[in-house]
Amino acid sequence: MSVLQLLPSEPSTKANPERVAPLATLPLFWKLTGKRVLVAGGSDAAAWKAELLAACGAEVHVCASELSETFTQLLSRKTPTTALAFVHHKREWNACDFEGVTLAIADCEGEFSQAFFDAACLAGVPVNIIDKPAFCQFQFGSIVNRSPLVVAISTDGAAPILAQAVRRRIETLLPPALKQWTELAKTLRDMVSARLQPGISRRMFWERFVDKAFQGKPTPDNVIAELEGYEPPSIGHVTLVGAGPGDAELLTIKAVRALQAADVILFDDLVSDDVLELARREAKRMLVGKRGGRTSCRQEDINATMISLAKAGKNVVRLKSGDPMIFGRAGEEIDCLQSEGIPVDVIPGVTSACAMAAQLGVSLTHRDHSQSVRFVTGHSRHGALPEDVDWKNLAQPKNTTIFYMGGRTAPSIRKQLLAAGMPPHTPAVIVSSVTRDKQKSWSGIVDHLADAMEHIGVNNPVLIGVGEVFKNARKQKRRFDQQQEMLPSPQPISAAGAR
């Protein structure tokens, strides 16, 4: 029986995402080398569009009785490129100017905008009238130029300043040397296609190529030598990736890269849709969550699935909520994979306890209140509390204890701590769905844990924190929220941007 057959029959948006979410406009990269384009108007704005079109190799015909100083300087540049790129017609445009034209751009006002737009449509020429969205059949994005690597950003005309701000941020992320690396990739493409079969071997070569591209300047001889001596792997690879508590912005850059390189993603039920949105669109997604009180996948089936996929040469990501090494049964999976000779590595994530501390504005190791931090599972494989917990040790002062998955066992946790000598008034907190939109928090004392759980509910993942560090959790949380309100709201990460 396959892993997917073990799952309930209700549809899963995670496992079956939309291949492409709705788009305001279709991003296209249009080759204009040798093509004739029309620019009507002699303003600075028209000059910028003309220069951009000429940079793409277009033959730019400019119709304008007068030119701005910027436009005049542009046309007077004495270079072989500009001499061929621009043809200035010292007059206003007419209908004949659209003949043989690929694109038409104008900077005009009022009734002239309508007239130019109508003439272009009649001639079947795509048209853009600068700063007039109603008269634009296409748009110019804000550009990051590492040609032949080109990044364009559009807001569908809603907020050009925002597009420029996004461009500035991307500029800082893309080293200038990417231009040379992209040119190198262009020369290597045919060689790679002839040397390596499609699929994982070819993709792994290009992933190594990309790693080098972001590390320094191109070394063509070394890269070509590496390609000539490259041996495709005979077996796939498994990466255990920490998805964090839910907020996609808490993923590491390395985790995003792993998601983008995966052939197959086996993900837990608690992994958020926002995190999965960053995955490679072509990757197969398999929901293998183990969920309390509901139908779940057996660990043995998950192990068998990973082994089968890796032996078929697939690049597998095992995506786990929080950190893979904290109550994620990663040790069992690593041992199983290694026993089959399958290479495996781990990318850590933000564990939920640390995310909870950040949300509450509480230091888990505050030196006035805590000398140690304990992470304790709130249930065993049988659903109750583990039988071998050292409750007397946990009940000692100067400890901070975080119970994972303790929602249903909160009454038993309270009972055991009090029986071990913990004062009933010891501070405690409960947080469910930490960092997510539906996050709920409670702050109080250990003696009230059971009643508090009735308010929080047990249907979402729950963390319980106990210790003096949580004494001011409510006050710290209020201060933390006020500080967050002063900050600009973060924009969600886009899958298109991550690809």
What pLDDT digit, counting tens, does each position of 54-63 carry? Answer: 999 999 999 9
Chain mean pLDDT for the chain: 85
Residue 6 lies in a domain: no
Domain boundary among 82, 116, 140: 140
Q: What is the mean pLDDT of residues 132-151?
A: 91
Domain boundary among 294, 329, 350: 350
Least confident of 217-231, 257-271, 374-388, 461-475: 217-231
pLDDT at 21: 73
- Domain with residue 246: its CATH number is 3.40.1010.10
In the chain, what percentage of residues exceed pLDDT 70? 85
- Same-domain status, 338 and 373: no
Q: How confident is the model at residue 499 (pLDDT cuts 50, 70, 90)?
A: very low
- How many Å apart are CA 461 and CA 221, to the nearest integer? 52
pLDDT at 203: 78
pLDDT at 490: 39
- Same-domain status, 309 and 358: no
- Same-domain status, 60 and 114: yes
Q: What is the mean pLDDT of residues 243-248?
A: 93
- Same-domain status, 99 and 198: no
- Domain with 194 in it: 181-228
- Same-domain status, 261 and 308: yes
Highest mean pLDDT among 126-130, 198-202, 312-316: 126-130
- Same-domain status, 44 and 131: yes
Residue 426 lies in a domain: yes
Is the pLDDT confidence value at 3 over 80? Answer: no
- Same-domain status, 359 and 468: yes
Residue 5 lies in a domain: no
pLDDT tens digits along 350-374:
999 999 999 999 999 998 898 899 9
Angle (deg, nearest 10), helices 352-360 and 473-486 = 80
- Domain with residue 400: its CATH number is 3.30.950.10
- How many Å apart are CA 418 and CA 164, to the nearest integer? 59
Residue 200 has phi, psi (to 5 degrees) of -65, -40
- Same-domain status, 91 and 209: no
Least confident of 171-175, 320-324, 406-410, 493-497: 493-497
Is the pLDDT confidence value at 485 over 50? Answer: no
- Same-domain status, 239 and 340: yes
Is the pLDDT confidence value at 498 over 90? Answer: no
Is the pLDDT confidence value at 148 over 60? Answer: yes
pLDDT at 14: 61
- Same-domain status, 481 and 367: yes
Instruction: Check residues 82 and 236 and name the one with the higher pLDDT.
Output: 236
Instruction: Check residues 78 and 255 and name the one with the higher pLDDT.
Output: 255
Instruction: Check residues 197 and 2 and name the one with the higher pLDDT.
Output: 197
Residue 163 lies in a domain: no
Residue 241 lies in a domain: yes
- Same-domain status, 273 and 310: yes
Residue 66 lies in a domain: yes
Is the pLDDT confidence value at 111 over 60? Answer: yes
pTM to 2 decimal places: 0.65
Q: How confident is the model at residue 83 (pLDDT cuts 50, 70, 90)?
A: low
Q: What is the mean pLDDT of residues 429-448?
A: 93
Residue 322 lies in a domain: yes
Is the pLDDT confidence value at 232 over 80? Answer: no
Instruction: Check residues 16 and 412 and name the one with the higher pLDDT.
Output: 412
Is the pLDDT confidence value at 228 over 70? Answer: no
> Which residues carry out catalysis?
268, 290
Q: What is the mean pLDDT of residues 397-425?
A: 94
Residue 103 has phi, psi (to 5 degrees) of -140, 155
What's the angle, vertex CA 241, arms to CA 258 and CA 4, rounded to 5? 95
Residue 202 lies in a domain: yes
Q: How many domains does the chain have?
A: 4
In the chain, what percentage of residues exceed pLDDT 90? 53
- Same-domain status, 374 and 455: yes
